[in-house]
Amino acid sequence: MPARTEFYDRTAAQLRQIESQGLHKHERVISSQQSARIEMAAGESVAVGA
């Protein structure tokens, strides 16, 4: 299915371009319950809504 391959190649190229322009934000994983302070999977502690 060449059309499917073309779609994936075009989409991957667009995503690389978006990331290279600094327009992509990686999500951070929350490893604690949500509250005023949360723990991130990377070990950092973050104040929410402060």
Domains in the chain: boundaries: 2-47
Characterize the bridge pairing of strands 37-39 and 45-47: antiparallel
Cα separation of 36 and 43, whole Å? 16
φ, ψ of residue 30 in degrees (nearest 5)? -85, 125
- pLDDT for 19 equals 94
Predicted local confidence at residue 25, as pLDDT? 87
Which is it for the CA torsion 13, 18, 22, 28, positive or negative?
negative
pLDDT digits (tens, 9 = 90+) for 1-50: 688 999 999 999 999 999 999 999 888 888 988 889 889 888 888 888 75
Cβ atoms 40, 28 nearer than 8 A: yes
Q: Which amino acid is at 50?
A: A
